[in-house]
Chains A and B, each alone.
Chain A
Amino acid sequence: MDLYNIETYLRPKSLREVQDWQPNWNWLAGGTWIFNEVQPQVKTLVDMQRLNWSEIEVTPGGLSIGATCIQNDLLDFSFPEAWTATGALKDAVRELASFKLSHAATVGGNICLALSASTFAPVMIALNASYEIWQPNGEPYFVNAIDFQTAPQQTILQPGEVLRRIKVPDGNLTQWQTSFKRMAVCTAGYAIAIIVTAYHPQTNRVRFGIGGSIKSPRLIEFDTVPTPEQIVSAIGAFSPQMYIDNERGSAAYRRHITQVLMQRGITELTTGIKGKRRY
């Protein structure tokens, strides 16, 4: 939709050009979120396209994804064959929305928006990713994916700070099998629970990235394949206040679905019988 309040449009080629960050400024990557609802508080859009941060790189340490990487580029990219866990990245793209949206939407945009229904957040947590953040002065620092989001639509980013790239360690990509499960009120629309399960068949280690049902995404890890009872008890460790309770779904139901999807995710990976991504 048209954003009537926008007065200024900046297209910096480097961060140095946007030193004096104002409270009514907003980063603009693909725009698919910003242009989807009124933004009465925003007067200036800072377009990130000319920063040229859209790379996908395979490095000895692992995978590096530039913040403004178009989501569909992940679908087309040829990852090393051993990196089986990149399947979860592709699922995050496919489960975002229509394929036309992910022609424009960026990976970093989805992460920084920090909606509870983010499809990338639980993937990045399951894959043990870390985020390289640039401060306004250009100084970088790293934060673990798990520590990035503090509440729905709130992150640790300070005004003027920006996500530069996402790094996924080689050790969490190689040989890990993944499954992506989501549930929404309807078959499409905002998820009320997303479970990304990563399973290492040789070690039997299991990492669950949990999103959608809780206020900020979380990790649950197991050294061996968990029993249903272990899943229930692990979820029991979450305080009831951690669950989102709103008109889309009650806390009790979200908790129940979280557990069902965890069970389905691990069953799928250990039996090898591929199930659906959506329920």
Chain B
Amino acid sequence: MPDSLNFQVNNQSHNTKCNPGTSLLSLLRSLGYAGVHRVCESGDCGSCTVWLDDKPIHSCIYPAMQVDSHQITTIEGLENGKLSPMQQAFLDKQGFQCGYCTPGMIMTASKLEYNSEAELRAELEGNLCRCTGYEAIIDSILECGNDNLVKPITAKEGQVGKNIPKQDGPNLVTGKPVYTADWSPPGLLHLKVLRSPYPHARIREINTTKAEALEGVEAVFTHKDVTRRAYSTAGHGAPVPDPLDHYLLDNKVRFIGDRVAAVVAETEAIAAIACELIEVDYEILPHAIDPVTAMKGDVVIHDEPESSQIHDAAHNIAGEVVLEKGDLNTGFAEADLILENTYILPAVQHVHLEPHVSISWLDEDGTLVVRSSTQVPFHCQRLLSELFDIPKEKIRVYKPQLGGGFGNKQEILSEDLCVLATLKTGKPVQWRFTREEEFTATNSRHAMNIRIKTGVKSYGTIVAQEMEAISNTGAYGNHGETVTFLTGCFPLGLYRCANQSYKGTVVYTNTMPAGAFRGYGATQGTFAMESQLDEIASKLNIDPIKLRQQNLITTEDEILIGREEHFHIIGSYALDECIEKVTQALDYDPEKQPETKGHIKRGVGFAATMQASGLAKIHLASVKISLMPNGQYELRTGSVDVGTGSDTSLRQIAAEVLGTTVENITIITADTHNTPFDAGSYASATAFITGQAVNLAAQKLRSHLLKTAAQIIEVNTEELKLDEAKISGSQTTIFLKQLAQEAQKRGESLSVELEHTSDRASLTFAFLGVEVEVDTETGRIKVLRCAEAIDIGKAINPRICHGQATGGLVMGLGYALAEELRFNEQGKILNPGLRTYRIPAASDVPPMEIFLIEKADPYGPFGAKGIGEIGTNCTAPAIANAVAQATGVRLKQLPMIPERVWMAMQKLE
């Protein structure tokens, strides 16, 4: 080890040594400065920003060896008895969601100079946020120094429908060690995985001797060390709908990046070096990257007999979806215009800023504990129990604060090998994915080719729709069929049509698996359908808004095709109002010709979508709510706040029902040993299903409290009223504290626990419009402004809902204009980092007007519907339609990068 380093962090002196290749980020984290967050590791995202002698730098690319005799300031050093003005501004304006980018944002923003909002956005180029769409962040920075006194909202004002601040805010703006990797038990070992360099190969021989001999290596595991048991990483409830085709470690690899062996060592560095010492003799097999080639069956990716629930393994078809209604031939025979197009959708990555990370250990009583960044602790517990033959009650899975997930943390990717290593070594083990692993060895959105053939009457009525999707599920089939189902069912279901058919084919290829991703297949289908209808409108010379209005389903329509029983229903419906708001906001005039100024052309475009709230009948939420001896309430739920603020929304619901404020509701969540079961955070379910469970449980508790109070103070229940502090009748009053203590004396429980599934999944609708500018010389598309209206039922917390809308919209902007995993002919991903895979930065985001249209849904709590996913679906098709209006060019492939736009315009000429 080289000379020791002397430096100061937050005015505290440190004298330490480190390996010469260490980054300042790792040095700071090893010293306990957990507010310095590790995300991109390449100097692109700014989450690790610290000040070096008062100048902000990216600590992930700063050599620790150069820190000698310098002064470092981290987020932990900003507080000086009270929050710094910038921290206070982020708290006041709630400039965060998951909070993982927040310390870096604050450290950067505190040192920014700018003269306008545009300059501010440009200066933030080196700080990426994936949750907020930047709006709340920009608001926070602009408001810094202004006194924004935030008054608590009283019980009298009510809690539902109010912008209650997220409860985790103070921790997030101060960089508290709240995320999974910020704490670990002593004696921690680190796990790293050797990954396949080949797209398809059988492992003939694997020699781990050299790796095991390296000092500091505790153990090396290969397929020889595990029971061969097929499972799915999908993180679904049992019985799982996915192919069982994945193994802890296998004798075959199916994509570049697939797991080969796992090393557990004293440090990540030793584990990484040991991985390189493992000798593997591969029998290289022919591979298939393209789904159409794969379906020929010349190469069989899952030829192992142990895998099951695969639709047609011999042809690499993981799953198939067929939906039919009416008769296509009759429909097309009636049509005046038939339009057929194929749309090409890329694989894209979630880019949740916090990577997958799990820590496992054995508790004193032998319980296996898994601390993990997961959206589905209970499904994870069940899977681990099955994989390792341990009773569920001997496994505790819990999640700390989550730094984003977007579906990728519904997948169970890091817990399994961690647990294997803990069980084999008896020691605590952590496995943290690198950013490159996130890009190359987790999941993507399903790449799809979607063909639509539509028949319409000359006056615009749709008479036939035939849709076919070929969905690339990659090497494993997790979520393949369920995602591909939504690709057809929502976009087709949105438009009334007597004759429809959909076929979705889910195909294995030797590429990184696709999996769950916000929007879940509907995003892909929406791009195809909304582009298709826009082109039809233009061909028929009908206003695209009118054409949609003419065909959109209404409350009177039966909405699904092909399945006798369905659970998606229209509870509340305000799509017509959404359209009105958006067209008004953009001053839409169908008669207006698009503007042209030199090489710049402008146009407007629109898109509609729908997405269900949760999964009917199977998405189970249980909650327990109790009046505690201190007179406050405790709410326990297994649900997972991915960073969205759902914990706060759930407290609002409970507080509203119990006539109190959120301050009196303590929430404990997402812990298999300490909270009742919840399916987890996916399918836009938390507000609609867990929220309703909380609503029902709180109502039940209220009745129970009134009844108990009535007995104690000997009056009729009917005359009693519950408020924040007490239960009162006309004459007598009992304080909640007294009530709790009295009940305790009498041995009566003041707890209510219930389970809830919804018989229906209400549909949320949305409509979005954009105005774009196209540089016809370069092909660059710039979105000038956009407006989106979401038919949300009821906004439990409008600011949180707004954040979901803007965040989803901007994620859709990346999908539209920039994001694409690029593969070579081996299926190797060519852009596995945030410098080459660009997600939208603050300067890419146009002004956004969001309308939350509230028309109460009969099935959701206080009329609320799901909002987590829907915002992502409309951005890409609306932009494509606006480009078509501006230039006449129809872009059928995403992302609409300048070169593709330019090429399309060349063809037009």
Residue numbers of A with Cβ under 8 A of B are 1-9, 28, 31-37, 45, 47, 49, 97-101, 103-104, 183, 185-190, 247-250, 253, 256-257, 260, 279
Contact = CB atoms under 8 A, between A and B. Distances in A.
A185 B108 contact: no
Contacts of B273: 4-5
A248 B125 CA distance: 20
Nearest to B782: A187
A31 B778 contact: no
A6 B818 contact: no
Interface residues of B, number: 56
25 contacts: A2-B26, A2-B268, A2-B269, A4-B19, A4-B21, A5-B21, A6-B21, A32-B61, A32-B62, A35-B62, A45-B20, A45-B63, A47-B66, A49-B66, A98-B125, A99-B123, A100-B49, A101-B43, A101-B126, A104-B57, A185-B898, A186-B817, A186-B844, A190-B836, A247-B830
B699 interface: no
A183 B66 CA distance: 34
Please indicate which of the listed interface residues B49, B55, B61, B844 has the most CB atoms of chain A within 10 Å of its own CB.
B61
Contacts of A9: 2, 20, 65
Contacts of B833: 37
Contacts of B62: 31-32, 35, 104
B461 interface: no
A103 B62 CA distance: 10
B897 interface: yes
Nearest to A117: B835
B434 A186 contact: no
Contacts of A253: 899, 902-903
A33 B42 CA distance: 8
A249 B20 CA distance: 37
Given A4-B272, A9-B65, A31-B63, A183 B778 contact: yes
A97 B127 CA distance: 11
Interface string B27-42: 0000000000000011
B663 interface: no
B838 interface: yes
B269 A4 contact: yes
B20 A7 contact: yes
B777 interface: yes
Nearest to B838: A186
A37 B42 contact: yes
A98 B58 CA distance: 9
Given A6-B20, A36-B42, A183-B778, A188 B63 contact: no
B843 A1 contact: no
A9 B830 CA distance: 31
Contacts of A49: 66
B899 A249 contact: yes
Contacts of B63: 28, 31, 34-35, 45, 47
Interface in B764-795: 775, 777-778, 780
B66 A260 contact: no
Given A45-B65, A98-B58, 15 more contacts: A2-B269, A7-B20, A31-B61, A31-B66, A32-B62, A34-B63, A35-B61, A36-B41, A99-B56, A100-B49, A100-B56, A104-B58, A186-B844, A188-B838, A190-B836
B822 interface: yes
B57 A2 contact: no
A32 B20 contact: no
Contacts of A45: 20-21, 63, 65
A36 B272 contact: no
Contacts of A103: 52, 55-57
Contacts of A260: 777-778
Nearest 6 pairs of A and B residues by beta carbon: A98-B126, A6-B21, A3-B21, A9-B20, A1-B41, A186-B838
B664 interface: no
Contacts of B269: 2, 4
Contacts of B55: 100, 103
Contacts of A37: 42, 833
B46 A98 contact: yes
B23 interface: yes
Contacts of B110: none
A95 to B, nearest CB: 10
A1 B778 contact: no
A250 B20 contact: no
Contact of A32 (B43, B52, B775, B836): B43
B271 to A, nearest CB: 9
A122 to B, nearest CB: 18
A103 B57 CA distance: 6
A115 to B, nearest CB: 11
Contacts of B65: 9, 45, 47
Given A31-B63, A35-B61, A99 B126 contact: yes
B717 interface: no
A9 B836 CA distance: 29
A250 B897 CA distance: 12
Contacts of B23: 1-2, 35
A272 B706 CA distance: 78
Contacts of B898: 183, 185
Nearest to A44: B20
B486 interface: no
B831 interface: yes
Contact of A100 (B58, B434, B822, B841): B58
Interface in B51-83: 52, 55-58, 60-63, 65-66
A128 B348 CA distance: 43
